[in-house]
Structure 1
Amino acid sequence: MFTRVLFPTDFSAPSMRAMEYIAELKDAGTTEVVLVHVIDQKDITQIAAGGAGFLGTVPDVETEVQQRLREDIQSSIVDARRKLEREGLAVHVRTPLGDPGKEIVKAADEENASLIVVGSHGRSNLRDRLLGTVSEYVVKNAHQPVMVVKRKSPE
């Protein structure tokens, strides 16, 4: 029923908790996972500015911070991919640049996903919101069923 699952992640704890549920979907026919990490355009612009502020210019040369960010993302993608592959799932990776919610919905359509599995909150993990802004956007705009995995409750 859910052959191809789209798994958007920002590698936060709530997001990675959602990955734990994907292996359980093998019993529902899941054989393939599309791992999506959206590089948020807003984050890149702020980092590229190097703290120069709104009136500063964006340098053409990759800064040390940008390079470290890129390396950290690549390392996290490799770790997540390996974990899913150890569960016997085929994994395809997408790393679009743009608005996370919009890019996730777009990827789900382009990849013909049968289900989207998303964490209820991402990096901001705001406790006073029922859903994070990205997961809320995906739930409201996706054309596929969306499984939202709640964050762990505080002990």
Structure 2
Amino acid sequence: MAYKKILIAVDSSEYSMKAAKKGLELAHQLGAKAALLFVIEKSKAFGNVDAGITHEQALIVLKKEAEQTLDELAEMYNGNELMKFMPEGNPEEDILKNAQNWKANLLVLGTHGRTGLKHLLMGSVAERVMRHSDIPVMMVS
């Protein structure tokens, strides 16, 4: 199967940076279109009433972090067109939804490499995406 559209899901972790690098290299080698996706988790936008920080202000900080990450990663790319997506919501759901909407035929994700009890308790967005994806998923650790 020829991969023509590669969606690379990232966050600001070192694991997703490695995944982005591999995904962008692959897109360049194949002459495929690439897209970077950073899901802004609304549930992580914690306000602090005592410090005068609202939920909305915390969300703005998360959006800026996402934009900076996407911009940094985009600088690494020297291939064709590069799309950037920044939905707000649930990573697992939004990765799958964006892959379908953009008609990606390969998903690239970083994995934290957790094992044992830690993995069992914390789960993995990458693992859940892999289990529910209709398209191939490349995991990078």
* Normalised TM-score (structure 1): 0.74
How many aligned positions are there?
A: 134
User: Are 1:129 and 2:123 matched, yes or no?
Assistant: no
User: Are 1:107 and 2:98 matched, yes or no?
Assistant: yes
Aligned-partner Cα distance in 2 for 1:11–1:59: 22
Give the structure 2 partner of residue 12 of structure 1. 13
Aligned-partner Cα distance in 1 for 2:96–2:49: 31
Change in Cα spacing, 1:26 to 1:77, as seen in structure 2 (3 Å) is closer
Structure in which a larger fraction of residues adopt helix: 2
Provide the alpha-carbon RMSD of the alignment. 2.5
Change in Cα spacing, 1:132 to 1:8, as seen in structure 2 (3 Å) is farther
Change in Cα spacing, 1:39 to 1:66, as seen in structure 2 (3 Å) is closer
Change in Cα spacing, 1:2 to 1:30, as seen in structure 2 (3 Å) is farther
Q: Which runs of 5+ in 2 are unaligned?
A: none
AA aligned opposite 1:80: L
Instruction: Give the C-alpha shift of residue 89 in structure 1.
Output: 3.1
Residues 79-90 of structure 1 aligned to structure 2 (within 5 Å)? 79-84=72-77, 87-90=78-81
Contact 2:40 2:88 in 1 (8 A): yes
Change in Cα spacing, 1:39 to 1:3, as seen in structure 2 (3 Å) is same
Give the structure 2 partner of residue 55 of structure 1. none
* Normalised TM-score (structure 2): 0.81
Give the structure 1 partner of residue 28 of structure 2. 26
Larger radius of gyration: 1
Change in Cα spacing, 1:43 to 1:4, as seen in structure 2 (3 Å) is same
Instruction: Give the C-alpha shift of residue 132 in structure 1.
Output: 5.3
The 3-state SS of whatever aligns with 1:97 is coil
Of 111, 118, 133 in structure 2, the residue corresponding to residue 142 of structure 1 is 133
